Amino acid sequence: MPSSEMAVMGKTIMILRLTGRVLHDAVSFIVFSLLDIFDLILCFAFKAVDFIIEAEWKPCYCTSAKEAITSSGKILVSEQGESKIVCLTSTKLGLEEISDTLYTRPSLVSEISKSTVNELKRFKVEDKSSTVTVQSSEKNIKKGTTRSTFTVNSTIVGMLRGKIGGQQLYPTSRWSDCDCKFCTSWTTSSKETLFVRAEGPKDKAKEDVLFVHGFISSSAFWTETLFPNFSNAAKSTYRLFAIDLLGFGRSPKPADSLYTLREHLDMIEQSVLEPYKVKSFHIVAHSLGCILALALAVKHPGSVKSLTLLAPPYYKVPKGVPAAQHVMKQVAPRRVWPLITFGASIACWYEHITRAVCLVICKNHRLWEFLTKLVTRNRMKTFLIEGFFCHTHNAAWHTLHNIICGTGSKLDGYLDSVRDHLKCDVNIFHGKNDELIPVECSYNVQQKVPRAQVKVIDNEDHITIVVNRQKVFARELEEIWRGGDRVVN
């Protein structure tokens, strides 16, 4: 083909790509602008229904916040022009674990329009709406450093005051949550611990392995795929622990919880490490679970024998950019394509739309499971559906923001600790076709921890990296654990 024709073809392809990108951006702008309006409508609708059914409504994160600063280290709550001081310190509350993406999610229109942004800034100064601000006391601020300030909604303070005071504002499921025996089994237990599926020898186990699932999943992600495919030698050597994270599967789903990193880690420790007397262990984690795995490894550096991460959501945060906001925009860029990105964008940006989705899907998960079995003639296992459906909106919403987005500023420190203070092997697996968490995230981890081994699996995505290759992956894990035993011993 002549060079001139090739040049014309190249320009044509470039123009088509540019046109497609412009159309995609235009459609995305229209769709998410409409969703902004729809979410606002649902906000009022849910408040009305909550009040009718429960005689009160749980505050949401929609209200704008006015920055009210105190230098005493206390919390100033200002609502409808009336202010009061809440005598609780930020250290006790752990407000640093609450992501600002919960209550700072600007609409797409406001982000694109400069004039709208300026108007919002002016409005922010004059706004009289509900606010909560926490500031470190003067003696804790070093000279030459920026003042540390947290601004949060009054709903957060209300929930935290209830937890510290021993009260449970919303201990069980709300009207929009599922109340079946599977989802509420934790309410009949005297101990508030996670659901744990344990397999292997009880007394003479050589090592322990902890499996941590990802977002809106459950322990079945491991027990239905890997557990049946481990060799007899592995089953007689290792104790295998697969947990349902706080708020998911059969684990407790307290409606007054903020599902912070601390809460998740505490529940793992008191549900597995302490009762089973786990002294040293291997960790296998997927997606969101990788963040918890890193935090757990840093907290117990001498106990971790190997760290296996699948699709870790680690995004490099540019200097000077708010970490949580940056991560949210990477995970959920508000684009209509691909579909998994569209779903992630809705899950991150729209508090009330996601509650409506949970009302339709999670509350009626038994119906959807029945229809799935009926359509597939009972040939399809429903463990993925169970993991996807069996959670509350409160658990999913807070876990997504406080763990994935809120730890954006912490992961660098965790990875530095793994690199400098842990001796265990680090292995990373990532599906090449993963459209939710890009492969670059795994290579970002490797740049921070050079000894980490990254394996990219062709033709697999975020889920099929395990589900489609459970036998192969089981063998790979056994080899990793044997290597970990040699390194530590």
Catalytic residues: 213, 287, 434, 462
b/e sequence 215-231, b meaning 16+ C-beta within 10 Å: bbbbbbbbbbbbbeebe
Distances (CA, A) of 225 to 116, 163, 183, 421: 50, 37, 22, 33
What distance in Å separates the CA atoms of residue 278 and residue 259, rounded to the nearest whole number?
Answer: 24
- The two tokens of residue 79 are 């609502």
Helix residue ranges per DSSP H, 70-113: 90-93, 108-112
* Residue among 287, 249, 286, 240 nearest 267 (CA): 249
What distance in Å separates the CA atoms of residue 465 and residue 168, rounded to the nearest whole number?
Answer: 40
Residue 238 pairs in a beta bridge with: 207
For residue 303, what are the contacts with CB-CB under 8 A and spacing of at least 6?
A: 278, 279, 280, 281
Classify 484 in phi/psi space as left (phi over 0), alpha (psi -120 to 50) or beta: alpha
Give the strand pairing for 196-199 and 238-243: antiparallel
- To the nearest 10 degrees (0 to 180), the angle between helices 288-299 and 261-268 is 70
For residue 149, what are the contacts with CB-CB under 8 A and spacing of at least 6?
A: 67, 69, 133, 134, 135, 136
31 CB burial (10 A radius; 0-12, 13-18, 19+): middle
Helices then strands, counting H and E runs in the chain, come out as 20, 11
